Structure 1
Amino acid sequence: MFIARVTGSVVSTQKVASMTGHKLLVVEPYRLNGETRDELVTTGRTFIAVDTLGAGEDDYVLIVQGSSARLTPETSKLPIDAVIIGIVDSVHIGKQNVYDRE
């Protein structure tokens, strides 16, 4: 599981029938700044993830990949590799708040 920021969406009008109606979002993984440990910084990569929660652009989300992506009731029969399983409200490292949604 990892934290990512939603940076965009993907529209695909032609796809396998099981994917019809599923929202696809572009997500960019983030990690803790290793030097200062006081902020989240991008890894510079992007993925496409199925959104099951209604996340929006600039939201930080929790992502699972691989076989774990097919373990939710909403995705158990889908041909996917990444799914959004949570919208992040805040991130605390030690006693420091490194992200707050508000």
Structure 2
Amino acid sequence: MAKVIGSVVATQKDPSLVGRKLMIVQPINADEQPTRSQEVAADMVGAGIGERVLLVRGAGARHATVNDVQKDVNDCSIVGIIDSIDV
């Protein structure tokens, strides 16, 4: 899980990232406390700043790709927007 805290604009980037919104995310635990360093994630679901989101990394992030790019450099994707957390 993570909280979206900002966005990144990169006019020059790998072709597999063209057309993707890049968001700065802060990984959080169930108590919404930061757990690691901030990172950049490709947004697949239209998340906005301040929203809590679901992240996938590695092969899962590359499989979240919605286009037919063969070489995908993405290693972190936002794949869901969290409505509530029950602990």
Give the aligned length: 85
Q: Map of 1:20-99 to 2, 5 A cutoff?
A: 20-32=18-30, 39-74=31-66, 77=69, 78-93=72-87
Structure number with the higher strand fraction is: 1
Equivalent residue, structure 1, for 2:11: 13
Question: 1:72 deviation in Å?
Answer: 2.2
Query: 1: CA distance between counterparts of 2:20 and 2:75?
Result: 14
Listed as ranges, the gaps of 5+ residues in structure 1 are: 33-38, 94-102
> Per chain length, whose mean CA-contact separation is higher, i.e. which structure has more relative contact order (CA < 8 Å, sep 6+)?
2
> Could you tell me the TM-score, scaled by structure 1's length?
0.76
Q: Identity over aligned residues, as a percent?
A: 39
Q: Distance in 2 between matches of 1:53 and 1:6?
A: 12
User: Where do 5+ consecutive residues of structure 2 fail to align?
Assistant: none
Equivalent residues of 2:44, 2:64 under 8 A apart: no
TM-align CA RMSD: 1.5
Q: Distance in 1 between matches of 2:68 and 2:61?
A: 8
Does the residue aligned with 1:83 lie in a helix, a strand or coil?
strand
Q: Tell me if structure 2 keeps the 8 A contact 1:6–1:61.
A: yes
